[in-house]
Structure 1
Amino acid sequence: MPHIALDGDVPGLPSLLRFRPETAGPLSDLAEALLRGPGPLDRGERELIASYVSTLNDCRFCASSHGACAAVQLDGGMPLVERVHADPATAPVSDRLRALLRLAAAVQRGGHAVGDAEIAAARTAGATDVEIHDTVLIAAAFCMYNRYVDGLATVAPTDPRMYTQIAERLTTHGYTTVPPRP
């Protein structure tokens, strides 16, 4: 049960965006820029990074919703997402993406956990400075989103079909449109 009076029919972050529209715009704009805006990482890769960090943070809503978004945008679909969540070191992803996932995991542990070794590994695997930057920012932002969603105990559906519906909406319409009330 949420810690504050949220619309119980709306799960996760969207319920918080509706509760406090003054903060909805900047938070939604940030997600839109990070996950769908121009950049060298594929949208599916960005969603996978967000989902992986959310898994590390044990944020079921964000891990599931962004995992579903990654699944519809990446070859390999949900089985790939599940393998990355379980162990990115053995998941069938490129060396570049594997290094970026390790970098994201370091950010999740704390900013000072990112060291020369993580950056060098990402560069050796072919990551550009922009890809390194974007990975760090996605990981840091999702630590914030995860704490926001879980810190107010928002509803996280247990039915995977709900996350498929969320993914369809987000991949089609983006993050800046708050879904209408049911």
Structure 2
Amino acid sequence: MQYISHYQSPLGKILLAADDTGLTGLWFEGQKYFALHLDKEHEEREIPLFADVKCWLDLYFSGKNPDFPVPLHLVGTEFQKEVWDILCTIPYGITTTYGEIARQIAKKRGLNHMSAQAIGGAVSHNRVSIIVPCHRVLGTDGSLTGYAGGIEKKISLLMLEGAEIPASCQRAREE
């Protein structure tokens, strides 16, 4: 059984989903793939995990790096889970690129090359945004490509963390 709850963030409403194993979804209302894999049979209920997730989010949105893990139940293909595991290792306030993640997976698998586009596909289907920090992934040229919640939210999350944002992206935001 999946349970849902709502959280009001400074960037908009967030839908949380969890099962008895852990958090299964965290989506900004209206984002691409919003609640795509939410079970048709779910119940709105404040389970203890949601209190922990909301505490984590409160700390995060206050500009602090939450210092405790949230139990996750990441559901996807083995490849997606491999990419999402790497996302979870990206430190607060630091960015990486799709190409760098591709290199890490290629090395781990003993391959000469891995497609950055394949990585992008897995990153874009991350169901637990913010906590699985897909917003910290940039294009190979440092561009702020793709974020299911929207580029404005991606910029806001990176700025909140104090991450370096390309000057061209900051200027575009101000215009």
- TM-score norm. by structure 2 comes to 0.28
Larger RCO (CA under 8 A, 6+ residues apart): 1
Which structure features the higher share of helix residues? 1
